[in-house]
Amino acid sequence: MTDFTSLGVKDIRDGVAKGDFTAREVATAFNAAVAQAASLNAFIVTTPDHALAAADATDAARSKGETLGKMAGVPIGMKDLFATRGVQTTAASHILEGFIPEYESTVSSNLWAAGAGMLGKLNLDQFAMGSSNETSYFGNVSSPWQKEGSNAPMSPGGSSGGSSTAVAARIAPAATGTDTGGSIRQPAAFTGICGIKPTYGRCSRWGVVAFASSLDQAGPMARSVEDCAIMLEAMAGFDPKDATSLQMDVPNWEAALSGDLSGKKVGIPKEYQMEGTDQAILDSWEQGKAWLKDAGAEIVDISLPHTKYALPAYYIIAPAEASSNLARYDGVRYGLRDLPDGAGLQDMYAETRAAGFGDEVKRRILIGTYVLSAGFYDAYYNQAQKIRTLVSQDFEKAWAQCDVILAPTTPTASFPLGSLDADPLTMYLNDVFAVPASLAGLPAMSVPASLTKDGLPLGLQLVGKPFDEQGVLNAGLAIQQRAGFAAKPEKWW
């Protein structure tokens, strides 16, 4: 009997289309795996009926000989940042607990139209703020991976930590993620899976709970480059409801996948050789260069001189935008309302927001409000915006020398849950290699490369030119073909 939960997107889609098995069998197997893995805390709510209904629709369409969608028969996990009609959408916050949208986000509705079904809403860092999935109101998510010789629960990365855990633990073949400053790539790297953040504007932000609107992008997380290409095709596309949506056709990324990099130049940015980066990460970067060379690429040294300013600029711009976006949660329009007896409107705002937001979210609102305040706007926010432009210009200059950039995804492998609680700056440093591409709006992907000597996954990151997801996916494929990453977390949950 097929072990359906070991299958990825392509295998499921093709197997269902060929009639090797039914979509219902697949959905049933994943629903059972989800129920059985509750201790990972990857899901905030499960929606087995949604997965079954979509599967039945696919099976019925197939039996009538209708054309099947790109994701037909594939049940997926949906990060709980995407509004889903009739299904609670919380952004992992208390303030949105019980909020049931009347509408469906564009990305999720594109996925349902392509034939995917929903296993449930995935846990995340609250309002997508975090790098470890420890800021959720609904509790930490545990990575399915553990260090050799230890059973301490490890971080699945963040903010898409429910997504990374579900895919790595084989309780979902794929999941949606969102990436504002690394939240697809860093959790993918921590859990030995793939994840791609497309060019800013490829996937509609409509119906995605906003964190930092000029940075937020949705993307797929799955166990292979092919699966990411398929799912990204289903998610992407112009949406008139999002003013920053790209008016461009969605390429057929899957069909054009090729791991042959002959004639391509891969840039190695010297500024990513940073102090504090683990030796294992530097070794895997070297290995990555060798793999891409073997795939036919020429390796060239490049310079992105403003790299070291990217992280501080991100931690000004993202909180600034967040403080403005989160002003809408006021006890009037959505979710929680805390109205003590005899209280006035102002008290209601204050009580609701005090009770409804977690500490990290409050920290971001305070920082954001501060950097936007009249006295400090020029000193912080305007400076950060100038740095953002310089970071983008660094990349533009680099594209004269190379087609794609290879770098580590993270400076370290995963860490035990709780170990960075008292150290927000080290936590923020997790994103040091991820945020430059976010600030510049570029497509960027993490692919699993190797394991540390403790048995934890490491990822390599590929950053591409604007709109060149294909170049990123192809370089990712070249690494995947050579890394042969087949390690799986041992089941303990």
Give me the helices (H) in 299-434, please: 307-325, 345-356, 359-371, 383-398, 424-429
Nearer residue to ligand GLN within complex by CB, 307 or 352: 307
Least Å from the CB of residue 179 to ligand GLN: 5
> With contact defined as beta carbons under 8 Å apart, do 444 and 454 qualify?
no
Least Å from the CB of residue 434 to ligand GLN: 7
79 catalytic residue (yes or no): yes
147 catalytic residue (yes or no): no
Nearest residue to ligand GLN by CB is 183
- The arrangement of strands across the sheet holding 43-46 comes to 43-46, 117-122, 75-79, 174-179, 217-222, 194-197, 444-451, 457-464, 404-408, 265-269, 298-302
Catalytic residue among 10, 70, 79, 264: 79
CA distance 282 to 273: 8
Upstream peptide bond of 159 is cis (omega within 30 degrees of 0): yes
Nearer residue to ligand GLN within complex by CB, 182 or 459: 182
Q: What Cα–Cα distance (Å) separates residue 124 from each residue in 52, 91, 156?
A: 24, 7, 10
Nearer residue to ligand GLN within complex by CB, 26 or 322: 322
Could you write out the DSSP letters of every residue in 159-176? Answer: SSHHHHHHHHTTS-SEEE
Nearer residue to ligand GLN within complex by CB, 209 or 261: 209
Estimate the crossing angle of helix 469-483 against helix 225-235, to 10 degrees.
160
Least Å from the CB of residue 77 to ligand GLN: 17
Nearer residue to ligand GLN within complex by CB, 140 or 352: 140
Least Å from the CB of residue 138 to ligand GLN: 17
In sequence order, the 6+-apart residues with CB closer than 8 A to the CB of 455 are: 145, 146, 147, 148, 487
CA distance 42 to 156: 10
Nearer residue to ligand GLN within complex by CB, 159 or 245: 159
Least Å from the CB of residue 373 to ligand GLN: 21
- Give contact residues for ligand GLN (rule: CB under 6 A): 128-131, 158-159, 179-183, 211, 318, 431
Catalytic residue among 109, 159, 163, 245: 159
CA distance 75 to 83: 17
159 catalytic residue (yes or no): yes
* Widest CA span in the chain: 72
3-state secondary structure of 391: helix
Q: What letter represents residue 33's amino acid?
A: A
Least Å from the CB of residue 103 to ligand GLN: 22
Active-site residue numbers? 79, 159, 183
